[in-house]
Amino acid sequence: MQRHRRARRPLPSPRSAPPYTDNGFVYPIRPPPFFSGPPWFAGTPLMPTVPVPPSGVNMNTPSALAWQQHLATHFIPTPPPTFANTPAWPAHPPIPLEEGVVAVPADTLHWTPGTFPALPFGTPVPLHIHPALIPNPINPTIPQLQWDLLHAPELARLYTGRGILKKLDLKDDAVFPVADKVWIVPDDVNCPILAYWMQVWGPIVVEAEKGVKIRDLLDGVKAYFSKPLTRQDFRLIRRGRSPLNPTPLLPLRMAAVRRIEDAYELPEVSKQLFRRIDVLGAFRCWGGARPVVMQDGTWRLVLTLLPYVVPRVA
């Protein structure tokens, strides 16, 4: 006797979302809107003092070894400190950016490009990132790179000190020394909702044979957040139902409606699936990436997103 398998229910889609209105839409804000974040998001993690091994920085071995496959639970265990997940440079704890205040070198008017926080000019550093990609060293709440992750890198604009938006040379190297592979991990201090979901999805990996350019890096980030949500993602969202959040899918639908309004693509294409960018709500603005070198000599870039609106350009 043949058994008939019941068809799986299709995944939700933004087609059922209510129409967007200025008065009805509310951006999800910190803390994460779908569920309470893990306890270790509450403060800055302390970095244990582990002796630095004599090995240098290997530009061919970027690492995200500290990332662990997320189990179906709301609480992400903090991995034990190892050489692979303990920063050796910069040697100070991460800086909260929400106040918009960062200490720049007091003894000089110039600082080493591609470092964050800024270091006095001439300070030897193991790794630089293109100055346009780092958080704003003067005021991190005003990104130097004005880019909405919905849009193509060609629409990203550099915000100058004179308040002018100018095009960015996407052919420039993203990091120096030049690397063929870049790992990107989340900033769990300044963007906990990004950190939560990247524990589920894994790090962003960007590869290019002749060295990763700015275009390669931004394309990789956009493609990562444009992927459709999976059944596991929807289970995690629904599991966040609580008296404070009785309809956990509603913020997702509202964010999808705003994405459909802002995206430069056909509505019929945008409405087909929920995407990763939808679970981040308002956190669609590039906040910057900063280089970090681990005590085992591996390195990675730490990505920050901000809940701001990016100026639309032609």
* 40 pLDDT above the threshold of 80: no
Mean pLDDT of 194-218: 95
Task: Give the number of other CB atoms < 10 A from CB of residue 108.
Answer: 14
- Which H helix or E strand runs over 249? helix 249-262
Torsion of CA 222, 226, 229, 230, to 10 degrees: -80
The pLDDT tens digits for 62-93 are 443 333 333 333 445 556 665 556 665 666 66
The pLDDT tens digits for 211-232 are 999 999 999 999 999 999 999 9
Alpha helices by DSSP H, listed for 58-202, are 192-201
What is the spatial distance between Cα 114 and Cα 137, in angstroms, rounded to a whole number?
A: 10
Q: Higher-confidence residue: 120 or 212? A: 212
What is the spatial distance between Cα 225 and Cα 235, in angstroms, rounded to a whole number?
A: 18
The pLDDT of residue 71 is 33
Peptide bond into 90 cis (omega under 30): yes
Which neighbouring-strand residues pair with 111?
120
* 37 pLDDT above the threshold of 80: no
- Nearest to residue 63, comparing CAs of 286, 266, 291, 222? 291
- Nearest to residue 85, comparing CAs of 64, 113, 60, 61? 64
Mean pLDDT of 152-170: 91
The pLDDT of residue 10 is 74
Q: Higher-confidence residue: 11 or 146? A: 146
The pLDDT of residue 68 is 35
> Is residue 24 within 8 Å of 18, Cβ to Cβ?
yes
The pLDDT of residue 101 is 58
Model pTM? 0.75
Say if strands 285-294 and 87-89 run parallel, antiparallel, or are unpaired: antiparallel
Average pLDDT over the chain reads: 75
Structural tokens at position 181: 């592979």
Mean pLDDT of 193-219: 95
The pLDDT of residue 277 is 95
> Is residue 114 within 8 Å of 176, Cβ to Cβ?
yes
**Maximum CA extent, the chain:** 84
